[in-house]
Amino acid sequence: MTEYSERLLDKPVRQESAGTMRIAWLIIIPLIAVLSQVYVPRFVSFLSYLELPLLITVHFALNRRSPIAAVFYGMSIGLVQDSLSHQPIGMFGIVKTLVGYFAASVSLRFDVENPVVTFILSFFFYFFHQFFYWVLSRALLGEAVNFDVQQTLIFGLLNAAVALPLFRILDKLKVAA
Amino acid sequence: MDFFLSRYRNITVLLVVIVAQLLLIAYQVKSNKDIPLMRVWAVTAVTPVEQVLEVVRSHTWGFVEDYFVLLGVKGENDKLKHENGQLKLENQYLKSELNTADRAQALSVFQAHSQSKTVAARIIGNGTGATSKVVFVDRGSASGVESGMAVVTPDGIVGKVVDAYPTASLVMLITDPTFAAGVVSQKNHVRGTLKGQGHGECLVDYVQNEERVDPGEMFFTSGDDRIFPRGFPVGQVSAVRNGKTFKEIYIAPSGMQGGPEEVLIVLEGVHQEIPEGEMASPGYKILQPPAGTEASGGDASSGTLVTDADRLKDQYKQAGQAQNHVFGEGVPGSKPPDFTKIPGIRAAAPDGVLSASPRPAASAAANAPPPQAPASPNAGNANSTANKSESPKNLSPTADAPKPKPRPTAPILVTDPTDADPDSAPAAPPGPSNNAKPPPAPALPPKPAASRPQTQTNP
C-alpha cells in the first residue's frame, strides 16, 4: 500500500479545506434546481432528464462530508420534489436520502475533487437514483414501470458531464460565500 | 446504548429517516390521502418564482425572438427574391417550351392532313436590311428545298423561299415590300395580288372598285402565281376602301400572327378547294320584318322593309285621308274617293288627265335618282325597283308599239280586300252597283307579288 493510498483511505484530506456555504445558498440553490427541473422542460423537453436536484445533493454531500447533514439535505430536496409531483410524498425523499448518505460516506474516504472521480460518482449516483426509484415504485406503489438500462446509462453520462461544470460553479459560490 | 448510538449514529439517522419516509408513504398509500401541507409549502415556494420567470420570459423572450427572427428576415427575403426570380425564369422557359410544343403539334397535324408535301423548318434568324422582311430557316437544299417554294403555317402563308443553301434557306416573308402572290377572296371570289407593305399588314391590289369585298372577309391563295397552291389561307380583310382605280384592301396576314417560329416548306404543292364561306349575295332569301313593326308606314330611310305594294297602299290611304274618306265605310253606290290624285297615277297618266298633287315624302324618296355607288345591296335594290316601277318609259304607251292597248281615260282601280286599312272596319261586300259603275283605276305599274320581296342577284 502506498503512502498516497493510505492517505486516501485513512485520512480525509479535504476535511480542512472544505468550505461552508451560507444557509441562504443552501436553500436557494436547491430551489433553483427544482425550479429549473419544473420550468425549463417546458421549452426544452430534452432537459427533463437532467436531474439537477440530484446533482445538487451529491455536490452537497461530497462537499460537506457529513452523512447526517447529507441525509437531511437529500431528504429535504427529495420531499420538495415529491411535493411538486403527483406521487406520494417520500419517494424522491428516500432515494435522495440514500444518495446523500452514500455520497457523504464516499467523500470521507476518497478524494472527490478529482474531476474523474466526480464524473464517475455523478454517473453512479444517477444510475443508483434511477434504479432505486424504480425499485421503490414497483415495491411500494406497485407500478409496472419499465427500467430502460441503456437510456439510463446514456442520461447518466449526460448528467455526469453536466456535473463537472456545475460543481465548479458551486465551488466558486462556496469560496465567494 | 450510548456507545451504540455514537458508533452507528450516521446509519441510525439514516434508518430513522428512511423508516419515517416509508411510514409516510405507507400512510399515503393505505389511507389514499395526501399530505397537503407539504405540497402547499412546496408549491407556494416554487410557483411565485415560476410566475415571475414566466412574466419576464414572456416580456423579454418575445423581443429576443423577434430580434433573431428579424435578423433572419433580410437574408430570407433576399433568398426568396432570388428564388422568385429563378422561378419566374423557369416559368417563362416552361411557357415557351409549352408554346413550342403546341405549335409543333399543330404543325404536325397540319402536315399530316395537308395534301401538299411539306417539310417542317424552324426560323433560325433574320436577314439583314432595314426594310427587308426575310428570315433564315434551318432547312436547305439538302432537305429538298428550292427557290420559289412556298412557306406556310397552319394559320396561313408565311412567305416563299428566295434562296436555298445546303443547310439553310432564305425566306421572304409576305410582309416584304417586294413580295407578291395571287389571292382570291372567300365569299365573292374576287381575285387580286397580295403585296407586302413592309409592316404588319399587306395590300391586295388590282381589285376593281366595282368588285365587292367586305371587311372581315378571308383571302386565300388563288394558285395563279404557281408558287402557293390554291386554297391556303392568307388573311382577313382589316380595311377596304375605294381607290382611284383599284380598291385598297388591307389584310392582316393570318400566318404572321404572333411571329411564326416553326413553318412548313411546301415541296410539292397540291391545289385545294377554297373553303365555302358566307355567300356574298344571299339569293332570294330575305328575312321577315321584325314582329311589331309596320311595313306600311315605313320607308327606305327608316330601315323598315317596304315593298311596292306597301307604297301603293300608302298612297291610296293618303288619298283617302285627303278626301276625308274612311276605307271600309259607306254603302255600296256611295261616292268613292278620287284616286286620280295619287302621284304615281299622275305620273303614269297622260298629261291633263290627272291633276297635280304633292308627292308624299316616301314616294319622293323612292323616286330619287340612285346614287353612284350604292351603299348597300338592299338600298340599291329598292332604288332600282322604284325607278323601274315609275319610269314613264316603261309605263306610257309608245307610238311605235305595234298594237297599242286602248288606255282608259280614267284610271282603273283594282282593289284588293287585303289592301284595306287594317285600322278600319272590314270592307263592304261589293254590290251590283260596283259592277255597273266601276271606279276609275290608275294604270298600275307591274306589281310584284306581295309575298315575294324584291331581290337582286349578285352582280
**Lowest mean per-residue pLDDT among A10-24, B69-83, B364-378:** B364-378
Closest CA to B217 of B241, B193, B189, B236: B236
Rounded to 10°, the helix A67-83/A23-39 angle is: 40
Q: Which residues of B83-110 are buried (b: 16+ CB within 10 A; e: fewer)?
A: eeeeeeeeeeeeeeeeeeeebeeebeeb
B289 inside domain: no
Shared domain check, B260 and B169: yes
Whether residue B27 has pLDDT greater than 80: yes
Whether residue B216 has pLDDT greater than 80: yes
* pLDDT, position B182: 92
* pLDDT, position B251: 92
Domain region containing B55: 31-113
Judged by CB atoms closer than 8 Å, whether chains meet at A83 and B17 is answered as: no
**Lowest mean per-residue pLDDT among A150-164, B230-244, B424-438:** B424-438
B299 inside domain: no
Judged by CB atoms closer than 8 Å, whether chains meet at A98 and B14 is answered as: yes
**Banded model confidence at residue B69, pLDDT cuts 50, 70, 90:** confident
Shared domain check, B384 and B253: no
Average pLDDT over residues A107-128: 89
Number of domains in chain B: 3
Whether residue B416 has pLDDT greater than 90: no
B207 inside domain: yes
Average pLDDT over residues A23-31: 85
B10 touches chain A (CB under 8 A): yes
For residue B279, what is the DSSP state? Answer: -
Enumerate the residues of chain B whose CB falls inside 8 A of the CB of residue A88. Answer: 24-25, 28-29, 34
Shared domain check, B128 and B107: no
B6 inside domain: no
Judged by CB atoms closer than 8 Å, whether chains meet at B24 and A98 is answered as: no
**Banded model confidence at residue B442, pLDDT cuts 50, 70, 90:** very low
How far is the C-alpha of B338 from the C-alpha of B325, rounded, in Å? 10
Cell triple for residue A144? 409496472
Closest CA to B29 of A89, A131, A130, A79: A89
**Lowest mean per-residue pLDDT among A142-151, B37-46, B104-113, B382-391:** B382-391
B281 inside domain: no
* pLDDT, position B293: 52
Q: Which of B12, B13, B14, B65 to mutate to test the interface with A (most CBs of A within 10 A)?
A: B14
Judged by CB atoms closer than 8 Å, whether chains meet at B38 and A97 is answered as: no
* pLDDT, position B40: 80
Judged by CB atoms closer than 8 Å, whether chains meet at B18 and A98 is answered as: yes
Judged by CB atoms closer than 8 Å, whether chains meet at B50 and A89 is answered as: no
Nearest by CB to B21, from A35, A90, A141: name it: A90
* pLDDT, position B425: 43
Shared domain check, B97 and B150: no
Quick one: closest CA in B to A77, which residue? B42
Q: Which residue has the higher pLDDT, B353 or B328?
A: B328
* pLDDT, position B343: 61
B192 inside domain: yes
Q: Which of B6, B25, B52 to mutate to test the interface with A (most CBs of A within 10 A)?
A: B25
**Chain A: closest CA distance from residue B59 (Å):** 16
Closest CA to B158 of B128, B193, B121: B121
- Total residue length of chain A: 177
Q: Which of A77, A80, A83 to mutate to test the interface with B (most CBs of B within 10 A)?
A: A83
Enumerate the residues of chain B whose CB falls inside 8 A of the CB of residue A94. Answer: 18, 21-22, 25
Nearest by CB to A31, from B13, B46, B54: name it: B46
Q: Which of B113, B141, B164 is the last residue of a domain?
A: B113
**Lowest mean per-residue pLDDT among A142-146, B85-89, B234-238, B360-364:** B360-364
Tell which B residues from 19 to 58 touch A, by Cβ distance under 8 Å.
21-22, 24-26, 28-29, 34-35, 38-39, 41-43, 45-46, 49-50, 53-54
* pLDDT, position A25: 84
B14 touches chain A (CB under 8 A): yes
* pLDDT, position B344: 56
Whether residue A129 has pLDDT greater than 80: yes
Judged by CB atoms closer than 8 Å, whether chains meet at A80 and B18 is answered as: no
Judged by CB atoms closer than 8 Å, whether chains meet at B17 and A75 is answered as: yes
* pLDDT, position B437: 43
Shared domain check, B126 and B106: no
Shared domain check, B234 and B126: yes
- Total residue length of chain B: 459
Whether residue B260 has pLDDT greater than 70: yes
Enumerate the residues of chain A whose CB falls inside 8 A of the CB of residue B24. Answer: 88-90, 93
Average pLDDT over residues B334-352: 61
* pLDDT, position B422: 46
Shared domain check, B188 and B169: yes
Report the half-sphere exposure of B272 (CA within 13 A, side-chain side). 18
The mean pLDDT of chain B is: 71
Contact between residue B444 and residue B351 where contact means Cβ atoms under 8 Å apart: no
A97 touches chain B (CB under 8 A): yes
Backbone angles phi, psi at B219, to 5 degrees: -110, 140
Judged by CB atoms closer than 8 Å, whether chains meet at A140 and B45 is answered as: no
Q: Which of B6, B13, B17, B32 to mutate to test the interface with A (most CBs of A within 10 A)?
A: B17
pTM of the predicted protein model: 0.40
Quick one: closest CA in B to A30, which residue? B46
Shared domain check, B344 and B250: no
Backbone angles phi, psi at B196, to 5 degrees: -75, 155
Judged by CB atoms closer than 8 Å, whether chains meet at A35 and B49 is answered as: yes
Number of domains in chain A: 1
Shared domain check, B135 and B171: yes
Average pLDDT over residues A157-175: 88
What percentage of chain B exceeds 90 in pLDDT?
Answer: 11
pLDDT by residue (tens digit) across A79-102? 988 888 878 888 899 999 999 999
Shared domain check, B264 and B121: yes
Shared domain check, B39 and B128: no
Average pLDDT over residues B157-183: 88
Whether residue B394 has pLDDT greater than 60: no
B5 inside domain: no
User: What DSSP string describes B328-351?
Assistant: T-S-TTSPPP-GGG-HHHHHHSPT
Whether residue B320 has pLDDT greater than 90: no
Shared domain check, B229 and B345: no
A141 touches chain B (CB under 8 A): yes
* CATH of residue B162: 2.40.10.340
Contacts across the A-B interface (CB distance below 8 Å): 80
What percentage of chain B exceeds 70 in pLDDT?
Answer: 64
**Banded model confidence at residue B49, pLDDT cuts 50, 70, 90:** confident
Domain region containing A19: 3-176
Radius of gyration of chain A (CA): 16
**Banded model confidence at residue A166, pLDDT cuts 50, 70, 90:** very high
Whether residue B131 has pLDDT greater than 70: no
Distant-in-sequence, close-in-space partners of B255: CB < 8 Å, separation ≥ 6: B152, B153, B155, B156, B157, B158, B174, B233, B234, B235
Average pLDDT over residues B244-261: 86
**Lowest mean per-residue pLDDT among B188-197, B213-222, B286-295, B403-412:** B403-412
B296 inside domain: no
Whether residue A6 has pLDDT greater than 80: no
Nearest by CB to B10, from A67, A83, A88: name it: A67
Judged by CB atoms closer than 8 Å, whether chains meet at B13 and A80 is answered as: no
Backbone angles phi, psi at A4, to 5 degrees: -70, -40
Whether residue B152 has pLDDT greater than 60: yes
CA distances (Å), origin B406, targets B398, B403, B437: 12, 9, 19
Give A129-136's long-range contacts (Cβ < 8 A, gap of 24+).
A129/A51, A129/A54, A129/A95, A129/A96, A129/A99, A130/A155, A130/A156, A132/A94, A132/A95, A132/A98, A133/A91, A133/A92, A133/A95, A136/A91, A136/A94, A136/A95
**Banded model confidence at residue B34, pLDDT cuts 50, 70, 90:** confident
**Banded model confidence at residue B288, pLDDT cuts 50, 70, 90:** low
- Burial of B311 by CB count in 10 Å (0-12 exposed, 13-18 middle, 19+ buried)? buried
